[in-house]
Structure 1
Amino acid sequence: MQSLNFWPLRPRQKGETQADPLFQRAIVPPRGRSLTTIRVPNSREVRKVASRRLRRIELASSRKQRPWRLFALVFMGLSATYGLWSGGQVQKLYEQAENGVGAMAVAAGLGAQRIVLEGQRHASDAEIAGALGANSNTILLGFDTAAAKERLEQVPWVKHAQVMRLLPSTLKVVIEERTPFAIWQNKGKTYVVDSEGAVLAPAVPDAYPALPIVVGEGAAKNASELFATLDMFSNLDEQLLAAIRVGDRRWNLKLISGLDVMLPDDNIGQALTALTDLDDRRGILNRNIASVDLRLGDRVTVRLHEAPRIPAGGPPSQDPELPTASTSAAPPKGST
């Protein structure tokens, strides 16, 4: 343990009063050494130090609480947004803002004030307007022409469509309509179809008297191929009443005279050529014949109408040269 040297006290001079014994017993450092002075801070400095420490504590506490505060704010924001959305308030606010902007644009002359339509013949105005989806309150700058084109081409009569914006206030629509090709009868209903078999509209009686009639399942989509072949046989084409699709694989032709011509599954042109040659030589299309069967490539079979009752004057004359399904070309025995 370090010892301390005490220096003798200075004797009191004349006139000095007795001081505090503590100060009288002061320690005097050795020569060449100084005693460390301890400075006691005043009250203002103490308050400053305490204030700084308090701020450090508050800052550290706020840093620890900051993530939780952020999470709480985010959670509250999401909850409020979900409440507005589920109640339809967000959609209402958006629609109000959109309507307000739209009204300003229309007032500025950017609305669809004029619609120009070209190529319309059969499609109704209501069908075109409904598919176009534009009116006087439509803003041309925000109008989706591609979507309008797709909607227009869903109209049965419209084959192709083109939609153009002519700023500031004109919308131009050009359509290409399908061409009526035939009247299709199927399952008790009648339709107008084009050459591709697309149904255009229900057929109104006597609305399309010049169109041919096709009947049966698959008749609409296969009619164009059949009539392309019949175009080469004008005599048959002029006498045709209807073309009947059988089993969606072949055709029967019903002529105005009532004659039925049964065509094969394929090689229709070859079969019709044989029928035309037979008609040129024997005129079978104008005779009392019920049907002509061309389904077999090596022969032509005809069937006569059922024999009528024999009148009093005797049996009617028959042509022994026409073969049928039940007779041959040779005259029956005993005939004259």
Structure 2
Amino acid sequence: MAQTIRRGGKGVRRSTATRKARTKVASARKQTGNMVDQAMRWLPVSDDTLHRLMIMAIVGTVMAVAIAVAAMVGVPAMVEQHIAVLSGEIGFRVKRVEVRGVNRMNELAIYEKVLGQRDQVMSRLDLAALRNDLLALSWVKDARVSRQLPDTLVVDVVERTAHAVLRNGGHFDLIDETGHELETVPPSRARGMLTLTGKGAETKVPALDVLLDAAPALRTQVAEAEWVGNRRWNLTFKTRQELALPEGDDESAAALVSFARMDGVDRLLGGKVTAFDMRVPDRIYLRVPGHGELIVAQAKAAALARATHAAGADGPATHAAQHAASTPHAASTPHSTPTAHD
């Protein structure tokens, strides 16, 4: 019987090496499978849940890529344009504007800002830009713009409050509690409001409020406040009497409290004194109209009496000197001179 001998087959060594390699591969696969299985057992999810999560991740990735490609070719812009056209055709356009919260300012200023949005499609309104335009108005402290479908634009305004009047020459400007300028008004409209003068006074409104709060009994009596030399205040009361305060927040507050205490005891406001100067610590200077002439008249009468007495005269001149000395109030034109009171 003939026997076929094949040449070129694997030798014993090669067969042995192949078997060893297969054994190693099987062992590695078995070990890896055990590790993966063990890691899967550690996860607090079931196999079905993990499978669904993987599918969702794949789908999400595909959708993100699709959206990115669509954005690159301008598909969202075309879709938005198409939606805007359809919205306008079915009536979603701005036809009415409703303004709320306006009491003091001119409401027409609001409509001038908003009317540019008329006949625009609701979906294409830039509400943030419109709000910024409204905040640029001097009277508007805050604003909110909203859509009220199908065709109404609602504007809610928070107004600033007129707190005082800033007088600059012949101009009167309303300002709020922060010193923000609101509008220029005629003198008749500024009457009765606290009036501020002096360079930079509008920047000191909060500090002035703190100062006046130190003496609440005097706050309603203050008609004007002058910021002097960018360092201190002169207050003018409704009685037209003036009080000069020292520099420094604490020093001026202490002086105002001291003045309020003295006014409560001696009724300084409404009296003959026209000006009070408290710039020197622990001291107040008073200005009384005509007091200087009174002192001068008294001095002259006393000098005349002494001269007449020295000359030994006993005639009409002596009687005149004595009369002048006994009536020193017969002074000439009133004049203001300061006197000191500790």
Q: 1:285 aligns with which of 244, 269, 272?
A: 269
Identify if the C-alpha distance between structure 1 residues 248 and 129 changes in structure 2 by more than 3 Å, giving closer, same or farther: same
User: 1:237-290: per-residue Cα shift (whole Å, max 9, x none)?
Assistant: 233221111122211011222221001122222001221233334333333223
Deviation at 1:221, TM superposition (A): 2.5
Q: 1:294 aligns with which of 278, 282, 288?
A: 278
User: 1:133-189: per-residue Cα shift (whole Å, max 9, x none)?
Assistant: 534322211111010000000000001111112232121111111011001102331
What is the alpha-carbon distance in structure 2 between the residues aligned to residue 277 and residue 120 of structure 1? 42
The residue that corresponds to 1:156 in the other structure is 138
Pair member with larger Rg: 1
Residues 166, 172 of structure 1: 8 Å contact kept = yes
Structure 2: gaps of 5 or more residues? 1-82, 298-323, 331-336
User: Aligned Cα RMSD in Å?
Assistant: 3.1
The residue that corresponds to 2:28 in the other structure is none
1:166 pairs with 2:148:
yes
Identify if the C-alpha distance between structure 1 residues 327 and 213 changes in structure 2 by more than 3 Å, giving closer, same or farther: closer
Secondary structure of the 1:258 match is coil
1:274 pairs with 2:258:
yes
Identify if the C-alpha distance between structure 1 residues 210 and 291 changes in structure 2 by more than 3 Å, giving closer, same or farther: closer
What is the alpha-carbon distance in structure 2 between the residues aligned to residue 146 and residue 315 of structure 1? 77
The residue that corresponds to 1:213 in the other structure is 195
State the TM-score, normalized to the length of structure 2. Answer: 0.58
Give the partner amino acid of 1:125: E
Structure-to-structure mapping, 1:100-111, within 5 angstroms: 106-111=88-93
Paired-residue identity, %: 26
More helix by share: 2
Secondary structure of the 2:105 match is coil
Structure-to-structure mapping, 1:52-131, within 5 angstroms: 106-131=88-113
What is the alpha-carbon distance in structure 2 between the residues aligned to residue 175 and residue 304 of structure 1? 51
The residue that corresponds to 2:50 in the other structure is none
Higher normalized contact order (CA 8 Å, seq sep 6+, divided by chain length): 2
The residue that corresponds to 1:314 in the other structure is 327
Structure-to-structure mapping, 1:247-266, within 5 angstroms: 247-266=229-248
The residue that corresponds to 1:191 in the other structure is 173
Give the partner amino acid of 2:327: G
What is the alpha-carbon distance in structure 2 between the residues aligned to residue 172 and residue 328 of structure 1? 64
What is the alpha-carbon distance in structure 1 between the residues aligned to residue 194 and residue 150 of structure 2? 47
